[in-house]
A and B are shown apart, each in its own frame.
Chain A
Amino acid sequence: MMTMNPVQEDSVRKQRTRRMAIGLGVLAIAFYIGFILMSVFVYSNPTP
């Protein structure tokens, strides 16, 4: 495996942190929209 110097390691970690933060943010927004859409679906298809 290729070894990285501390600056490269730091840069990779920063990139990973940013990607993780964006991913988790998108997940949170998806839950928000998802639950509203689910409610729209339930509302437009009421159980008899």
Chain B
Amino acid sequence: MSEATTHDAHDHHDHGPAKGLMRWVTTTNHKDIGTLYLLFSLLMFFVGGAMAMVIRAELFAPGMQIVDPYFFNQMTTNHALIMIFGAVMPAFVGLANWLLPMMIGAPDMALPRMNNWSFWILPFAFSMLIGTLFMDGGAPAAGWTIYPPLVLQTGDAFPFMIFAIHMMGISSVMGAINVIATILNMRAPGMTLMKMPLFVWTWLITAYLLIAVMPVLAGAVTMLLTDKYFHTSFFTAAGGGDPVMYQHIFWFFGHPEVYILILPAFGIVSQIIPTFARKQLFGYSSMVYATASIAFLSFIVWAHHMFTVGMPVAGELFFMYATMLIAVPTGVKVFNWVSTMWKGSMTFETPMLFALGFVVLFTIGGFSGLMLAIAPSDFQYHDTYFVVAHFHYVLVTGAIYAIMAGTYYWLPKWTGHMYNETLGKWHFWLSTITVNILFFPQHFLGLAGMPRRIPDYSVQFAEFNMISSIGGFAFGLSQLMFAYIVISTIRGGKKASDQVWDGAKGLEWTLPSPPPYHSFTEAPEVK
């Protein structure tokens, strides 16, 4: 051994976490920060969920029931912002923090102090956003797309919302930089790019998407701010500006954002299905290329969100065909998951149930997405409940199901305890039955012409709305089981083995359960 390495070994002393509250405030450890992200995300999931309950209670029957229309609009807007930026994105960053170093054989993330900063910005951003509910003029109510000129009518809440979005963006960009720097610089010897687990690949590509599009959102909202307070007219028609330009800029961010919310989910499912099918993932390299193709295509389809705005026909055709093209790499993925299961020795523990639920239900969301991609059809569906049904199938039974699958899959590794399998299965079946009661009727409502973002509706929509609301309340209650299962597993339970699952493969399973505070102090050799 060289002199330098002897010296290094001498200096090194393993230390555990600090004690008390300051451990969490000052931590630079990837596992601590991962835990903070995941708990924050769970909290936001319930805050955003409570807002969804208000929405569904109001829509339980026609006529004005519980809240006034303006408050209803505040609920739809904040429900979306909180679920997207507060629940789903931080959950994926939490999973990345916990898992990336363990999967690539690194001791920690590449930039641990920036990691701490990325997380601790978020509670302030969301306190500010939620705080706007108590301000003069109420919280923002123009929808999560915050389109001008409507959003420019927001009261005192406006600058706070803009600042909160900037902070969320900064947090995401710093998180993405950390992910890229970690994956490209900290892999164990022998861990070539094409040997990386699919979750690592999907996160690497997602991180590039984040860096490319979060600044675009920040630019758009900065211009909204200057339009409102500094007399510019970027998006104000009266001053020569163009509100449609905002829509183009917003959706240039917004569509890749959709893939930011789903690509890591693809990665999680690609880890889980091979484990419980006890087979290697079918078509690993095609999965990597499909992920990269989806990421590329996500940049050239944005205007399918605005077919009805009045575009040249050539533009509509381009965006229609480009959007349909996304079905090809997505189809490759679904085909590969199904082929992985083909003739496998499958068992159906809770993570696998959620992963299978993902494959089936996300595909339903994918198909309704294809229907929406057809420009002439979209003229009928646009801004109806069909769109609401579509994106909830993609985001709830897609992204959130994958997050839950991943949580059940890795929770025994993180805590050293097995969760209660019976309760986990109850959680899956209750969620799956109720989520379909909640969202499937919304397809029919949309096809029948019920517009989205309204607190009242014609009596012809009454039955399906009532069914949807009942499903909504039941789905909301089912999620309390998830919180209970997670918290009780953290507190104790049957000891989990290091391997946890028979068919699990990857470096994270070579570590003890729970893993040591610093994952790999010596880089493992990957063959």
A contact residues vs B (CB 8 Å cutoff): 5-8, 13, 16-17, 20-21, 24-25, 27-36, 39-40, 42-43, 46
Q: Which residues of B contact A33 (CB under 8 A)?
A: 219
Docked complex: B146-202 residues within 8 A CB-CB of A: 173, 176-178, 180-181, 184-186
B contact residues vs A (CB 8 Å cutoff): 2, 4-5, 7-8, 110-111, 114, 173, 176-178, 180-181, 184-186, 211-216, 218-220, 222-223, 233-234, 240-242, 245, 249
CB atoms of A20 and B219 under 8 A apart: no
State which of B8, B212, B213 has its C-beta within 8 Å of the C-beta of A6. Answer: B8
A-B contact sample (20 more), CB < 8 A, given A21-B177, A35-B219: A6-B2, A7-B8, A21-B110, A21-B111, A24-B181, A28-B211, A29-B215, A30-B215, A31-B215, A32-B215, A32-B216, A32-B218, A32-B219, A32-B222, A39-B223, A43-B233, A43-B240, A43-B241, A43-B242, A46-B242
Q: How far is the CA of A48 from the CA of B245 in the complex (A)?
A: 15
- Chain A residue nearest in CB terms to B207: A24
State which of B2, B111, B216 has its C-beta within 8 Å of the C-beta of A17. Answer: B111
CB atoms of B215 and A5 under 8 A apart: no
Question: Is chain A's binding surface mostly helix, strand, loop or mixed?
Answer: helix
Q: How far is the CA of A46 from the CA of B186 in the complex (A)?
A: 48
- Chain B residue nearest in CB terms to A27: B211
Q: How far is the CA of A36 from the CA of B211 in the complex (A)?
A: 16
CB atoms of B215 and A28 under 8 A apart: yes
CB atoms of B8 and A36 under 8 A apart: no
Q: Which residues of B contact A24 (CB under 8 A)?
A: 176-177, 180-181, 211
**Contacts A28-B173, A39-B234, A42-B245 known; A6 to B215 CB distance under 8 Å?**
no
A39 CB to nearest B CB, Å: 5
CB atoms of B219 and A36 under 8 A apart: yes
Q: How far is the CA of A7 from the CA of B9 in the complex (A)?
A: 11
- Chain A residue nearest in CB terms to B176: A24
A35 CB to nearest B CB, Å: 4
Q: Which residues of A contact B234 (CB under 8 A)?
A: 39-40, 43
- Chain A residue nearest in CB terms to B208: A24
**Contacts A39-B245, A39-B249 known; A20 to B185 CB distance under 8 Å?**
yes
A-B contacts, 11 listed (Cβ < 8 Å) = A5-B4, A5-B5, A17-B110, A17-B186, A25-B173, A28-B177, A29-B215, A32-B215, A32-B218, A33-B219, A35-B219
CB atoms of A36 and B222 under 8 A apart: yes
- Chain A residue nearest in CB terms to B220: A35
Q: How far is the CA of A19 from the CA of B7 in the complex (A)?
A: 27
- Chain B residue nearest in CB terms to A24: B177
Q: How far is the CA of A30 from the CA of B110 in the complex (A)?
A: 23
**Contacts A5-B2, A6-B2, A20-B184 known; A35 to B111 CB distance under 8 Å?**
no
Q: How far is the CA of A7 from the CA of B2 in the complex (A)?
A: 10
Q: How far is the CA of A24 from the CA of B173 in the complex (A)?
A: 9
**Contacts A7-B8, A35-B216 known; A21 to B242 CB distance under 8 Å?**
no
